[in-house]
Structure 1
Amino acid sequence: MTSNTEVFPVLETKRLVLREITKKDANSILDYLSDAEVMKYYGLDPFNSLDNALDEIAWYQSIYSNKTGIRWGITLKEQGVVIGSCGFHNTVSQHSRTEIGFELSKGQWGKGIAAEAVEAIINYGFKHMHLQRIEALIEPPNLSSQRLVEKIGFVREGLLRNYEFTRGKFDDLYMYSLLKQDLDKINSM
C-alpha cells in the first residue's frame, strides 16, 4: 500500500485496468523484466531474482510517495495479472512537467496495448496532475517506442548526445514532448 493518504488512481480503458503495483505482483514483474528483449532499452540488465522485482516495486512506491512520479501496472480486464507498466517519473511540479516510461511483456507486443495504456495515463496527467508538458526520452534504435509516441502526437525536439550512462555505456536519446494544448490530437485518435 502507498504511504500517501490519497487513494492510488485506478484507470480503465476498453481492454485494460491500470492499477497500483504491489509486492504481490513481484513474480509477474520478474517474468517480463527478466526478458532481454523487453529490457533492451530499459537501462537495466534483465532481472534474475525476485529481489530485483521487489526493488523495482519499491522504486515505484517511493516515486509515488515522494510525488516525483507514478507507475501503473498494466493488466488485461478480467485477468488482473501485471503484463507491463507505464507511468511518469522525474516529475517537476514547479514546471508542470514529467517524463513518461512504459514497457510491456513480449507476448503482448503488437496488439495496441501499450498505446492504449499510454493514452490513458497521458489524459490522466493533463487532466488530474495539471501537467503542461510530458517528455519521452527514447534511444534512436528503439523504433517501436518512437512510432508509438509519434502516433499519439509527441513531437521530436532533438537528439541529446551521450545523455545517459546505462549498462556500461553512454546512450544518445531523442527528446520528444507532448504539450497540454496537444491533447486534442490524442482524443481525436
Structure 2
Amino acid sequence: MEETSISLKPCGIEESIIDLSQITLRPLHLSDLDDVMVWTTDEKVAKFCSWETHTTKDDGINYIERKINNNKNENKKVLWCKAICLNDHAIGFISLSSRSPHDKSRNKSAELGYVLGSKYWGRGIATYVVKQVVKVAFSELSYLERIEAMVDVENVGSQRVLEKAGFQKEGVLRKYVFLKGKSRDMVMFSVLVNDPKV
C-alpha cells in the first residue's frame, strides 16, 4: 500500500473531568480512522502493545480492518471486541479472546486486552470499562469461569486498573514474551466468576 501522511483530527474533547456515563462501547468502524490514529501514533500508548507505533493512515486502516475481522489468528479466537468511545469518538479498544480455542481444558477462560489513548489515562475510564466488560462477559458468555490479563511488569498504570477492577495478581511470568527486541516479564492477573468483587 502507498504511504500517506498522517492527519490527526482532534477529538473535540476538553481536558475537564469526564462523566463516565458518557463512555460507550461499540464496534470499531473505518470511519473511526482519524480518532484511532491519535492513539496508535502515540509512543506512550504503543510502548506496551504488541504493535509498533503507526506512522501512516494505511497502518491505521490495517489495524481497524484486523479488529473488524476479529483478528483472524489461528492461535486466538476473539470472543468479544469493542471500541471505547467518548461522545462517539473512539478513544481506545477492548477485547476478550480465547488463548486456546482448540484446547477444551482451557476454553472456560478468556484473555482481556485493552488500549486507551494517553490523553485519557488516570481518569478512571479504563477501570470503568474493564469492570463493565467483566460483568457482561460473565453474563453473556456464561461458560466462562475466569478472565485473565497479562501486563508488562513495567506497566504500573495498567496493573492498577486491573486491581481496581477486582482482578487479583497471581504472579510474575519471567521472560514470558519477546516484544520489540527484548524478553519481557509479564504480571498475570485474573478474576473468577465467583470472586466477591464480581
Q: Tell me the TM-score normalised to structure 2 length.
A: 0.79
Per-residue deviation, 1:176:
0.8
2:27 is matched with which residue? 20
1-structure distance, mates of 2:71, 2:45? 24
Q: How does 1:152-171 map to 2 (within 5 A)?
A: 152-171=165-184
Secondary structure at 2:70 match in 1: helix
Q: Quick one: which amino acid aligns to residue 118 of structure 1?
A: V
Q: 1:126 to 1:64 in 2, by over 3 A?
A: farther
1:97 is matched with which residue? 109
Q: Sequence identity, in percent?
A: 30
Per-residue deviation, 1:30:
1.2
Contact 2:85–2:92 (Cα < 8 Å) also in 1 = yes
2:7 is matched with which residue? none
Query: What are the ranges of 5 or more consecutive residues in structure 1 without an aligned counterpart?
Result: 1-12
Per-residue deviation, 1:31:
1.2
Secondary structure at 1:118 match in 2: helix
Per-residue deviation, 1:92:
4.3
Q: How does 1:19-168 map to 2 (within 5 A)?
A: 19-63=26-70, 67-76=77-86, 79-92=87-100, 94=104, 95-130=107-142, 131-168=144-181
Residue deviations 1:24-47, cap 9 Å, x none?
112211111100011111122211
After TM superposition, which residue ranges in structure 1, 4 or more long, deviate above 6 angstroms? none
Q: Tell me the TM-score normalised to structure 1 length.
A: 0.83
Q: Quick one: which amino acid aligns to residue 50 of structure 1?
A: K
Q: Quick one: which amino acid aligns to residue 98 of structure 1?
A: A
Contact 1:44–1:166 (Cα < 8 Å) also in 2 = no
Per-residue deviation, 1:49:
1.0
Which protein shows a greater Rg? Answer: 2
Q: 1:99 to 1:17 in 2, by over 3 A?
A: same
RMSD: 1.9
Per-residue deviation, 1:88:
1.2
